[in-house]
Amino acid sequence: MDALDQKILRELQCDGRISNVALAERVSLSPSACLRRVQELERTGVIRGYRVVTSPERMGRGFAAYVLVGLSSHTKAAQEGFERAMSVAPEVVECHNIAGAFEYLLRVESADLSEYKRFHTEVLGTQSHVHAITSYIVMGSPKDERAT
């Protein structure tokens, strides 16, 4: 992975559907050489894949919150039960197992606050072993490289 590869990855970050000839031109390479590099990055796993980026608002995901969750039980069964519930909940887009005063950090996306409240009471509130919930409502994201 040299500077040229990084330049290629930067371009694919901005536009993942750029044509190979345009990409080659941007990084000052011939199309064939450029394609070989991209394919090598895909083969070796540096490139995991490509995905579309959609507008959260237009997808009914205009509201976002981060939620710290504390479990009263630290058994494997309790963790697996909670993780299963989160993986099934469509509002939960991220579920991180963290080290510290809480066990989990969630990113929850919904249409609005009332829909979030429903998730809070009906999904999180009904989970056994959940003994602490702290919500941080996102008011804005001055930087979000994972979304752009």
Partner DNA sequence: GGTGAAACGTAGGCCGT
Partner DNA sequence: ACGGCCTACGTTTCACC
Residue 12 as a binder of a copy of itself (CB under 8 A): the answer is yes
Residue 47 as a binder of a copy of itself (CB under 8 A): the answer is yes
> Which is nearest to 28 in space by CA: 11, 43, 45?
11
Q: x-or-dash pattern for DNA, window 19-38, by CB under 7 A?
A: xxxx-----xxxxxx-xxx-
Residue 75 as a binder of DNA (CB under 7 A): the answer is no
Q: Which amino acid is at 147?
A: A
Q: Closest distance between a copy of itself and the C-beta of residue 79, in Å? A: 9
Residue 141 vs residues 90, 125, 131, 145: alpha-carbon distances, Å: 22, 27, 29, 10
Q: Closest distance between a copy of itself and the C-beta of residue 113, in Å? A: 11
Q: Which is nearer to DNA, 44 or 148 (CB)?
A: 44
Q: Which is nearer to a copy of itself, 84 or 131 (CB)?
A: 84
What is the separation, in whole angstroms, between the first and last Cα of the chain?
Answer: 24
User: Any residues with CB less than 8 A from the CB of 118 and at least 6 apart, and which?
Assistant: none
Task: Please tell me the count of residues contacting DNA according to CB under 7 A.
Answer: 15
Residue found by looking up tokens 């609005």 in the block: 112
> C-alpha 13: how far from its chain's center?
15
Binding residues for a copy of itself, per CB under 8 A? Answer: 1, 9, 12-17, 44-55, 58-59, 64, 66, 68, 83, 86-87, 92-100, 102, 105, 107, 134-148
Binding site for DNA (CB under 7 A): 4, 19-22, 28-33, 35-37, 39
